[in-house]
Amino acid sequence: MTAKRTCSGRPPKFEEARRPITVTLPERILQQLAAIHPDRARAIVKATTAAIGFKNENRPLVEVVEVRPREAVIIVGPSKRLLEIEWLRLVEVAPARHLLVIPSGTVIEALEVAVEDLLDHLVPAEDYERELLTELHQVLRVRRRRQDVTKAEILLVRVGKSS
C-alpha cells in the first residue's frame, strides 16, 4: 500500500494544466506586467489572453471577413498544424490573426484535402487544433460546394539582403 501524499506548499494559481518556465524579459515589459497584476504569472496570462484570445466570444478561430461588398477573406487563429502544410503561408495581419496564402496555380480543393488530412492525424489532446481545423474545413467545403470561392493574388516583396 502506498502512503497518501500530503499537499504542501502554495496552492496552484491556475485550474488548468500548467508548468514552470524561465524567461528573460526587458525591464520595460516587467514594469508593464506589474501594472496588469502584481503576480507575474497571472499578468502574463491576462496579457496573453487579452492580446491573442485564442478561444473567446470576441475572436472566433476561423472568421470570414468581408473586404469588399460580397467578397471576403478567411482569417484564422494561430495553428501549429496548418504550418505543417508546406506550401501554405499564414500571413499575420493582426495579433494571432492570419490570412491564408496559397501559391499561384494551387487549386482550392488542395487546401481542403490538406486540412482534412491534418484532422485525420490529430491526437486526442489537440482540442484547439481540432476545433480550428474542423471550422476551417467546414468553411472551405461549404464555400467550394456553393462555388463561392475564388482566388486573388496579393503582392509579396522580398525583404532582407538584396543582391
Residue 40 has pLDDT above 60, yes or no: yes
Read off the pLDDT of residues 49-72 as tens digits, 9 standing for 90 and up: 777 665 555 678 999 999 989 899
Is the distance from CB of 76 to CB of 138 less than 8 angstroms?
no
Distance (Å, whole) CA 74 – CA 29: 33
Query: If you ran DSSP here, which 8-state letter would residue 59 be given?
Result: B
Going from the C-alpha of 53 to that of each of 15, 49, 57, the distances in angstroms are 18, 5, 9
Model-wide pTM > 0.75: no
- pLDDT value at 3 more than 60: no
Would you state the pLDDT for residue 146? 93
Closest CA to 76 of 122, 135, 120: 135
Whether the pLDDT of residue 38 is over 60: the answer is: yes
What pLDDT was estimated at residue 53?
Answer: 61
Domain ranges across the chain: 19-51, 62-145
